[in-house]
Amino acid sequence: MKVLVAVKRVIDYNVKIRVKSDHSDVDLTNVKMALNPFCEIAVEEAVRLKEKGVASEVVAVTVGPKAAQEQLCTALALGADRAIHVQTDERVESLGAAKALAKVVEGEQPDLVILGKQAIDSDNNQTGQMLAALTGRPQGTFASEVVVEDGKLRVTREIDGGLQTVELVLPAIVTTDLRLNEPRYAKLPDIMKAKKKPLDVKTAEELGVEVGSRLTLVKVEPPAERQGGVKVGSVDELIDKLKNEAKVIS
């Protein structure tokens, strides 16, 4: 079984986000970038499937600028067998990414595609679902458990108020939730081997897909700074303030 894992280069989760002074975008100059944490979980799941003997090959793919090859290298160090880079300098949004991935799926014909449920930069939570629609494959989103049995996929999904288990016919699309697994640390020999694994670079044009932005970014603003709180003297005072000042209860 061939597994394709989509990964995204995002701002490192440790970095304190700064907004450009003209509010045109998030400031990414000289900022540390990393593999999106949900994508790391996706890679881990694919590698575990391979270690269990369920998957025979794990292919990592990304859509983004040249520098995104660093994240492909991370995926290779974590255990992916080879990588595909759809190179573009355009700002890639969910639909553009999904279209490019659909082209890669068409070429690679994987039995399973695993994606992070969302990227921590734009938090859209769309690409997996769009890819499912574009490829006509069944989807199991927000997975907290993935089991392959008798050519079928059983996906436990984290939904509001509980867990839902769905059974999908392969080939299928899965997006990962936080609790699916705990990604491993890459081993030093694997980091060194990663450089020697195949990395295939294609441009979006070569794939014949339009990944360009369809949205206009109007303005980016940092969240309002937290204001200092007050100490209340009693529960009654608290309830009073919640009712009359904050107006969050009635």
User: Nearer to another protein by C-beta: 60 or 194?
Assistant: 194
Closest separation between CB of residue 169 and another protein, Å?
A: 37
Closest CB 32 distance from another protein, rounded Å: 7
Smallest distance, another protein to C-beta of residue 227, A: 14
Residue 229 in contact with another protein, rule: CB under 8 A: no
Q: Which is nearer to another protein, 149 or 182 (CB)?
A: 182
Min CB(87)–another protein separation in Å: 16
Q: What is the DSSP string of the chain?
A: -EEEEE--EEE-TTSPP-B-TTSSSB--TT--EEE-HHHHHHHHHHHHHHHTTS-SEEEEEEEE-GGGHHHHHHHHHHT-SEEEEEE--SPP-HHHHHHHHHHHHHHH--SEEEEES--TTT----HHHHHHHHHT--EEEEEEEEEEETTEEEEEEEETTEEEEEEEESSEEEEE-TTS--PPPPPHHHHHHHTTS-EEEEEHHHHT------S------PPPPPPP----SSHHHHHHHHHHTS----
Which residue in the set 152, 195, 214, 243 belongs to the binding site for another protein (CB under 8 A)?
195
Among 32, 179, 214, 243, binds another protein (CB under 8 A): 32
Q: How far is the CB of 180 from another protein (least distance, A)?
A: 18
Residue from 105, 177, 93, 94 nearest 137 by CA = 105
For residues 49-78, which are near another protein according to CB under 8 A? Answer: 70, 73-74, 77
Interaction of residue 21 with another protein, rule CB under 8 A: no
Contact track, another protein, 77-106, x by CB under 8 A: x-----------------------------
Number of residues counted as binding another protein (CB under 8 A) = 18
Among 187, 205, 212, 215, binds another protein (CB under 8 A): 187
Binding residue for another protein, selected from 7, 68, 100, 194, defined by CB under 8 A: 194
Say how far apart CA 208 and CA 4 lie, in whole Å.
20
Contact footprint for another protein (CB under 8 A) = 14, 29-30, 32, 70, 73-74, 77, 185-192, 194-195
